[in-house]
Each structure stands twice: as C-alpha cells, then as structure tokens.
Structure 1
Amino acid sequence: MSKTTQSKRQMAVPVGIAGAVQYTIVPKDLAAHLFDVTLEIAQPEAEGQIVSLPAWIPGSYMVREFSRNIVQIKATSEGKKVALKKLDKHTWQATPCQGSLIVTYEIYAWDLSVRAAHLDQSHGFFNGTSVFLSVRGQEAAPHIVDIQRSADAACKTWRVATSLPELKAKRYGFGTYIAANYDELIDHPVEMGDFALATFEAHGVPHDFVVTGKVPNMDMSRMVADVQKICEAQIAFFEPRTKKAPMDRYVFMTMVVGEGYGGLEHRASTALICNRNEIPLKHQPEMSEGYKSFLGLCSHEYFHTWNVKRIKPAAFAHYDLSRENYTSLLWLFEGFTSYYDDLMLVRAGAIDEAAYLKLVSKTINMVTRGSGRLKQSVAESSFDAWTKYYRQDENSPNAIVSYYTKGSLVALGLDLTIRAATEGKKSLDDVMRALWQKFGRDFYSRSLNGTQQGLEENDIEALIEQATGVNVRRFIDKHVRSTEDVPLAKLYADFGVTLDAGAGSKKASLGIKVARDGNDCKIANAFEGRAAHLARLSAQDVLVAINGLRITSADVVDGLNIAIGRYRIGETVEIHAFRRDELLVVKAKLQADDVPVNQLKLEVDHQAVLATARPTYKKAAKR
C-alpha cells in the first residue's frame, strides 16, 4: 500500500474520541477475494505493541486459525517501517516506536459460511474475528471502523447491513461505525452488496431482514410477517410484563445458496445461510418443509439473543479467543435453544400443534438412531465439542451424541417433569426467566465494570429447584451426566400425548448412509451392529454391485434402495466393493431398516391443551 493511500485512509477515520482504536476495511480485490485492513493505534505500548487475531469465533466451538488467512502484514510509524515479530500462530509484536502505530494487512476471504469472511463480485461479508486484530491492553477502549466502498464497478450500488452503531455513516451506507470495546466490535458481522431489505418492528424495536442471493418471486412480506411474530413471542417470553427487548435494533442477514444451512448468533444480529428452496415464493402459499426449517433456524438464532449471548456459562463470561474455552453446559445453551426454537413457532402461530409434534418426533428419531448416545453423555459432548462434535468423521454416529438434539429432548423432559410435579403451576419457562433475571438482563452493562457473571458448571439443578420447587438432580444425573434416554413416552402420558414407537420399517437394509463420490456409491457411515458392519464393510468403501448387479442411478441413494429393494429382510446378498483400489467380496445378511419411526400423537381432540405447545396447562385425564 502506498503512503498516499495510507494517508487518505487515516484522514477518513474520525478523530476526537480519546483512546479509540481505529480500523479501515475495504474490499480490495473482488476476484482475488481480498479485504484490505488498516489498524491505527494512537498510543502503542512503549515496550512494543502486541496485536493478535482470534483463533475461534464465539458460537462455533472449534479453533479455526483465522490468522492463516492473513496474506501479508506490515507496520509503519511516522512514515517509517516498523518491524513485526511473530510470537505465535496469530500474534505479532511491533518494535517500540514513537507516535502512532499503523498496521496494514490483507485478508483472504473465501469462506462461504456464517463463521468467517467471504468476498467476490456478488457480495462481501465478514465477522470481526476474521478481520480485526485485537490490540493487547486496549481491548476495553472504544473501537471505530471505517467501512469503505470498493472502487470496483461491481460495488457501485452496494449497501451495508450491520447492527454496529453508526458514527459517521447513514444506515445501510458505507462510512464509520463504533463499538464500545473489542468484544462488541467482533459481535456485529457486516454484509455488503445488492441485498433485498425489509424492516419491521417487534414490540417497538426495529428489525432489518436482509437477503443476499437470487431468489425469483421471493415472498419477502410473508417471511417478515412470520419472523415478526416469532420475535414478538420471544421478547414477551423473557419479559412478559414490559415486553422490552435486550437490543435497540436487530438485523437478520441471510445468504441464499444452492445448498447450505446454518446460523451464528450475535448480540444484536444473526448471520444465516440457507438453501434457495427453503425461501417461500409468492405463488406457493403452502408451508413447505424447507420453509418451516428456515423459520426454525431464525427462531433458534434469535433465541440465542438471550440464551448464550447474555445468559452464559461462566466459562464464556470472559472469552479467551486464543484457545479453547471449555464448558459442559452446551446441552443447556444449545439444547434448550433447540427445544424452544420449534416451540416458539407454534406459540407464535407460525405452525400448528400437529406440525410441532412432527418436528419433535423427527428429533426423537434423529437421537435414537445413533448408538453414540449410549456411549457419550450430553455433558461430555458439550465439553468435547472442540474435538469431537465440530470435527466429526465417518464414525461419529457410533461414538458421539449431539448436545443440540439430545439437549432439546432433555429440555422437553425437564419441562414435562416440572409441569407434572407442579400440576402446571411451573414449567421450564420459569427456569429460563430465572436465568435471564439472574445472569442475562444486565450482562453487558455489567461488562463495563467487569462484574458480569455466568452459570457455573454444577449450579443448574439448584437454580431449577429455586425457580420451580422441583428437585431434578436425579433427572440431570441420569440423562445429562449419564447416557440414559429421556423417558418421553412415560413423561408424555399425563399430557394427552402418546409416543408410538412403531414396529420399525419392513424394508431390508444394510444399515449404512451413502454419499455420491463422482459416479460412485460410497459408504459415508456404517452404523454399528448393522448388516454392513457385521459383513466387515466400512465407511469410505465404494459399493459396486449386489448379487452381480451393478448399483446404478443418478442418485446413489435411490440406486442403493433399488438394489436392496429386490430382497427381503433376512436374505443374504453378495456385495462387491472397493476399499481404496482393492476389490472386496463379502456376504451380508440384510436386516430391517433401522430408521426409527417414533411418532407423537394427541390422544384427545385438537382443542386439548398440549403442555409443551402452549403457555397454559391442563393435565390430561388418565385413562
């Protein structure tokens, strides 16, 4: 970067805020996917200022080494070059200098996800953890960022979407934004491009709904109406008397792609990625399964505004972004959120009770299929998220349990237990509100004086008992710290709901999950104790033929189903497969398809009060 360019960028950053750390970020080269970042430190440490980039992003519990995307970095002071010594993989120390220190660096942004940064001719997106170096010792100072428009003609009509407070910028415009400290700076992602935008209010708070990506005939008004109901239901859930939201403004940022799904929560926004087929269309008024899933994603990330962004485990009250931060409580913070995300859809009126029961049934089936749930508790799964849940391999279904899905069943079981024990006078809702009042409501105001707190690892049982009067220690020991399944059939019995376990599928199965690899049918997962495993087939093996007939189909799943569908349960088939470049010939005795078919059903008519789907309660008559 030339001195002239540096000077212009420094002048663009406002002055007058004492002790502020100042950044400039500009899309430098769209085709090369490069952001150019300038960091100005007015008062660097006399011994040599240390700067570093986070190794992970809160909400996604895996060390991602964002510093690997720094293409080049250099420093100057008073127009003279300053040496930077690299101390470790993401930390640099500048040689002591007189006057302000200016650090310039390039970020390679080609991660199309909600976790990092992405830049091309269609849009730009970044999380602060991917692009903003932290200044050692000055993390509590105000942080100013000047988001500049690229000179590329493709950016001529771009706008900016972020929940960062504007300093000298119009809303949706390029210019300067401000954060109270570094923690706040990196908790407001930025989207820039030609996005669709709609704004609504939820209990008086403005919410922006931003969609990037091509969706012909997108029904934006329908999405806004549905999401507005969900937001208002959640605000009223935590603050039933005042209906006061914990933020002054909120932004939903959605990237629409051909195939993808995910979200990441922030204190006043969320970054989402979804499949184009999940977006509702104007000429298709029916509720598709994809759209229902998208609404659940919006609900999930919005619920995190309270649960994990403000109600936190003690281990997350003060993040150390240089290394793993361990907690055994993700079953509560992600699992409870996964329970309430669908629950809020029915409470808000976005779906009916029948649709809600189908979603719960789906979750039960997902959990009960994997044998890993019998080997790893959700407390262990939470602690091991850094090494197991976020680094899954072909054996994961046989070795781990999801703290999202089983955590949601734990929440459901606790809710039913509390409601039954108190005859509907208390519920898990009271627990969430108690957590909010004790830990979340004033979290960020406490952060200004460093007194913010989080839930300690073993305090949840006492808090539940204090909030509801119900002792759940035995329940937690059995279903959270141990591996017992939550007895939902028994718990649901008092609420007019039956859990029909069914008889399983009558189709023959090898007990595998397959994926397409070119034109090959490759085993992605071989489920423990099933036919393929017993025949000594493994994940990564390529299936070629069954009883001499080649597996052929454009869809490998269909091709395998057709091939297996010729046979009955109990028959033995000869399978030809390749492991690496070696041909295997094995015999497998087909078993019944192991896909669970658990299904929740109302025993009473549709006007009965379902305990988990409505805030009021009436115990169903025993039969």
Structure 2
Amino acid sequence: MSPIHYSITPSDPYAHVFDLRIHIPAPLASGQLLRLPAWIPGSYMIRDFARNIIAVQARSGDQNVALGKIDKDTWALGACTGAVDIEYQVYAWDMSVRAAHLDQTHAYFNGTSVFLQVVGQSDTPCRLDINNANIEEARHWRVATSLTSAGADAYQFGTYQAENYDELIDHPVEIGDFDCVTFEARGVPHDFVVTGKHSADLPRIAQDLTTICEHQIRQFGEPAPFERYVFMTWAVGNGYGGLEHRASTSLICNRDDLAGRNESGKVSEGYKTFLGLCSHEYFHSWNVKRIRPDIPYDLSKENHTPLLWAFEGITSYYDDLILMRTGLISRQEYLELVAKTITRLLRNPGRFKQTTAQSSFDAWTKFYKQDENAANAIVSYYTKGAVIALALDLNLRHESNNKLNLDQVMSLLWQRHGQTGVAVAEFDIQNLCLELCRNNDVPQPAQQRLQQFFEDAVYGTTDMDFSALFAPFGIAFKLRQAGSMSDAGGNDKSVDDNRVDLGVLVTADAAGSKVTRALDNSSAQCAGISAGDVLIAVDGLRVENGNLEKLLSRFQPGDQLTLHGFRRDELMTFEVTLKAPLADTVYLAIEDESKLARWL
C-alpha cells in the first residue's frame, strides 16, 4: 500500500503561514473527501481549526481538479483518475499547546490543526516531509518530535513516518533553535526540549524528570508503552499548560518556573508547579492515551463522556503524589498542595449546582467556555476529580484495612483496558473497585459505603466529610478564613479575625479595580456589584494600584460603606454591608505519624 505523503514548510514566518502538500496515490473513485479535525484530543472544545486554512487547490498531473467545500471543515474532490496533489496554506498564530504557531523565532504545530485527513483512507500509512524556513533566522533550526524517522537524521529536517492518520496527528513538532537534554528512564530515551529565552539548569531538570518517569514506568509495569519520549517546553513570560500525546507532551510555562542554574538544589514554588505539570502529562501516557474513555474520538464533533473526572482527576491526584513519593518534595509540602486543592474546591459555589459527572459531560460548552459566572455555576472535573481520587484512595485503604488502594485499581485498568484497547465505560471503575473488595474479603457494609461514595462524589453535589476522611490516617482537617485575597491555603497562619471580604476577584484597571467574578451571596453580589464593573472609590477614597484590599482593611464585618464604580460608561453607587470571609481555607495537621504511614 503506497503511503499518503504529506509535506509541511514554514514558508512565511513573518506572516505566520505554513505551506502544505498532500500526495494521495489513489483517491477514492466514489469521491474523495478531505477533512480537518475540529478539536484535538485532550482539549475538549470545538476549535474549528479549518478556519485557519487560507487556500486549497488540487491537481492531478498537469490538470487542475475541482475541489469544493461542503461544510465548515470538509472539502470534496471532483472526478479524477490517478494520483492527486492537494496544496494549501495554514495561518499559524495560536500561542498555545493546542494548535500551531509560527514566526521568525520558531515553528510549532499539532497535526490536528494542519494535516487534512483523507477520509476513508485513515488506515493508510503516512509519510511526512518536514522542511525548513528559507529565512536567515532559521539557519540553525532543528526538529524535535517523537515521530519515527523515515530517513531524517536525529533532530533534522527530512522524512518521518506514521502507521496511519491517527498516529500522524498525535506527534506534535517543534522547529527552532531550541535547547535539548537527553536522559534515559528504565532504558527508554527521553528528550527534554525547551524553546524561548531561559536560564534553566537542564542537567538538573533531566535528573528530576528521570526520577518521575522511572517511578511511573515502574508503577504501571515495564516495558513503557513507547520506545522514546519527548518533553517539548515553551518558556514564556507568563503561561501555563500542557497537552498529552502518545509519546510526547507539549508544555508551556513561565521561564522563571524552570530550575535555574544558581538555585542550589532548591525546589521553588514555581519549579514545583512545573514538575507537577510534567508528572501530570507523563501520567497521561497511560491514563487517557491508552486507558481511554468509551467515546468514538470522532474529531468532527463533540464526543461526550461523564468520565473526565477520572481521566483528568485521577491524573491530577497522582501528579503531585508522585513528586512526594520520589522525594522531590517533602510530605509536608505534599499535604500543603492537597490542602490548596481542597481549598479551591470549597471556594467554588458551583460545586453545589453541577455534579462532577455533569462537569465532565459538559466540558465542551461549560468548562472550556467559562464566563464570569462560571465559579457560581460549574465545578472543575480537574479539581473535584483530584479530590475524588484522593478520597477513593483513602476509602479503599481504610475499608480494606490497607489491603487495597488506588494503585491497584490503576494497575488493573492498565491490564484490562490500556493493554487490550478496550475502552472504559461509565461504571467500569467503580465496578472494578467493588470487584477488588469482594476478592479481598472486604465486608459487605464497607462495599455498600464505597458504592454510596461513588454516588455522592461523582453524581452528587454535597461536600464530603473531610474530617472523617482524613482522621483514620492521623490527619486533622482544619478550616480557617483566608488572610488575604491571595491566600491559597495549605498552612495554619494566623489571620485577622476582623477581616472583611467583598467576595470578588479583581484585576488591575487604569481607572481602579475591575471585577472579574462576584461570588454567590457575597457582600458584593448582595449590593449589586457585577463582573465587569470597575471599582473606583471606597467611602470616597480612590481605588488605585491594587489598594482595594488595603482600603477595606479599615472596616469590620457588619460595617456599611459606599462603593463607587463604572458599569460600562455609567457611574454606579453601591451600598455594601460587609461580611466576614467564609471559613473555606484548608490546612492539614499531622496528629499521628503511625497512622499517616498507612497512606504516605
């Protein structure tokens, strides 16, 4: 079978344009369709990548072939005999890990945003020629990708190959004058590639990633499900995100979060965040890329599932846990991260209105399209999913007298689903947990409590009893008020008992402080303050340079004040009765080390 041959060239970096060509040896006689995906796996929102295609034309030999667009992302070839060449251009100016980006500093693309699918021939082998830009700035550019070479030398331009279209679009490509360090984890070569200005300690990062990767490979069992793995990192002034692929991940991070050459082995808060991101995306190599939800992966439309709480939430639970298990962070640091996660959940009124299963199902239209009311209306399947995974692990350990845990569940998921290709249906995880309980003689009442836990946590909106959850492991669950707008929790610092809280999030604005969110039943919402309002004065004193919290510090709960602001171009007056902050800030105190050893 002759392969479908793709070619991509960063033809005009200044205009952010890629040139692409597809050679189709045998177009379908019944009429060949070409389609660009509307979304990318791992990011559950319709992105309509086809809107970035500038022009498409088709030729067979020296003859033009009719090519018409039949819907938003599909083209139909006219009648032809013999091979056909498709030529088109793609505009690439999406500074994210999801699409494509091109300028005179580098080129990056995901296949979903640039490679048209030859419909009906998705199982045909593919070849890909990756060409360099013809500009002076690109003379030292190289290629980073986990695609298999079909003649191209390591990190060089040339020809690569994929078994089919699905594989072709699951290996992003970074092109540029990047820095790279290579390391091995359980015999598997790994590359850490970083693009952008930075002063990272690459040997230190490679050493820490080796620790993380080897732990995860051992957790699921050797061999690893890939022969080579690539971390592609884009270091920027302000950014955070990652997207998993079958043998690589694309990351974007603050350059200051990368371990610096003069940090003397310290794990800064930023570097801790970055390592957690790497751990998260690497864990997805098993949990979502191969242990997959039961959806069709039709890239032309939404594919709904109630299981994102498990695929993202369980992964979010393990990302920081693995940092602790490998000694990259301390046990106390880990408990602080857990407390911060629960704090984020408790500060989200939407948890009382949307279940985690609903959040998963509606990710396409709610979680990925959040508006100013999101905190009041939805719950994050990442955050609550991580808390559910934590609670599931602790419940399994407690109810089985420490014979069972979430590690065993993940191992069975890997054996029964990841290694077999059998998709995970909605109730498979809880049924597997109950099966483990039966096989390990867990009493029936405990099994019933576990079943009720799933019902309440995944399909309900009530808060868990965190005190009861942590107590068997020697941990006291503590709540306090936030000490400031930036207090993320995790510690037991003392706070001002007379502090007040408007219940808003704000950003700096030239005129004052712009409200981005007003929480349900907060002082602000009860006074009529809404997202988008620009607050300009508190009791006649000007709001400027982030001083809103300082101005409010003169008051106590129950006090009344007048607050002025602009809504659009209209001056508004708000009479506010100030409330005390809710006790929604979590910290975890170790009370019995011997009991804690049953978990950490």
- Bin of the TM-score, shorter chain as denominator length: over 0.9
Q: Which runs of 5+ in 2 are unaligned?
A: 484-496
C-alpha change, 1:110 and 1:581, in structure 2 (3 Å) is same
Tell me if the contact between 1:434 and 1:467 (Cα under 8 Å) persists in the aligned partners. Answer: no
Counterparts of residues 347-426 of structure 1 (less than 5 Å): 347-426=325-404
Counterpart in 1 of 2:515?
523
Matched, 1:467 2:458: no
1:429 to 399, 404, 407: 407
1:149 to 132, 151, 172: 132
1:597 to 562, 585, 590: 585
Q: Which runs of 5+ in 1 are unaligned?
A: 1-17, 444-452, 614-623
Deviation at 1:442, TM superposition (A): 3.9
Deviation at 1:268, TM superposition (A): 0.4
Deviation at 1:214, TM superposition (A): 0.6
Residue deviations 1:106-155 (CA, integer Å, cap 9, x gap): 00000010000000111110000000000011100101100011111111
1:76 to 59, 66, 69: 59
Deviation at 1:519, TM superposition (A): 4.6
Matched, 1:312 2:329: no
Give the share of equivalent positions with the same residue, in percent. 50
Deviation at 1:467, TM superposition (A): 2.9
Deviation at 1:19, TM superposition (A): 2.5
2:466 to 485, 488, 496: 488
For 1:517 and 1:310, the matched residues in 2 are separated by 46
C-alpha change, 1:273 and 1:611, in structure 2 (3 Å) is farther
Tell me if the contact between 2:60 and 2:83 (Cα under 8 Å) persists in the aligned partners. Answer: yes
C-alpha change, 1:162 and 1:594, in structure 2 (3 Å) is same
1:37 to 16, 20, 28: 20
For 1:517 and 1:19, the matched residues in 2 are separated by 59
Q: More displaced, 228-237 or 284-293?
A: 284-293
Alignment RMSD (CA, Å): 1.3
Amino acid at match of 1:377: T
Counterpart in 2 of 1:164?
147
For 2:470 and 2:579, the matched residues in 1 are separated by 31
Deviation at 1:430, TM superposition (A): 0.7
Q: More displaced, 43-52 or 256-265?
A: 43-52
Counterparts of residues 525-564 of structure 1 (less than 5 Å): 525-553=517-545, 556=546, 559-564=547-552
Tell me if the contact between 2:59 and 2:86 (Cα under 8 Å) persists in the aligned partners. Answer: yes
Tell me if the contact between 1:369 and 1:595 (Cα under 8 Å) persists in the aligned partners. Answer: no
Counterpart in 2 of 1:455?
424
3-state SS in 1 of match to 2:227: coil
C-alpha change, 1:38 and 1:519, in structure 2 (3 Å) is farther
3-state SS in 2 of match to 1:591: coil
For 1:293 and 1:587, the matched residues in 2 are separated by 40
For 2:207 and 2:21, the matched residues in 1 are separated by 40
Matched, 1:274 2:253: yes
Counterpart in 1 of 2:203?
221
Amino acid at match of 1:312: R
* TM-score of the aligned structures, taking structure 2 as reference length: 0.94
Deviation at 1:608, TM superposition (A): 6.5
2:237 to 258, 262, 277: 258
Deviation at 1:76, TM superposition (A): 0.7
3-state SS in 2 of match to 1:393: coil
* TM-score of the aligned structures, taking structure 1 as reference length: 0.91
Tell me if the contact between 2:475 and 2:596 (Cα under 8 Å) persists in the aligned partners. Answer: no
Residue deviations 1:487-524 (CA, integer Å, cap 9, x gap): 22211101111111135543211110001244541100
Residue deviations 1:384-443 (CA, integer Å, cap 9, x gap): 000000000000000000000100110111111100111111101111011000010243
Counterpart in 2 of 1:139?
122
1:329 to 287, 307, 311: 307
Deviation at 1:596, TM superposition (A): 2.4
3-state SS in 1 of match to 2:362: helix
Counterpart in 2 of 1:116?
99
Tell me if the contact between 1:45 and 1:96 (Cα under 8 Å) persists in the aligned partners. Answer: no
2:570 to 582, 589, 602: 582
Deviation at 1:544, TM superposition (A): 0.8
Deviation at 1:72, TM superposition (A): 1.0
For 1:191 and 1:468, the matched residues in 2 are separated by 46
Counterparts of residues 201-220 of structure 1 (less than 5 Å): 201-216=184-199, 218-220=200-202
For 2:138 and 2:101, the matched residues in 1 are separated by 15
Residue deviations 1:304-332 (CA, integer Å, cap 9, x gap): 000000001111xx410000000000000
Tell me if the contact between 2:53 and 2:88 (Cα under 8 Å) persists in the aligned partners. Answer: yes
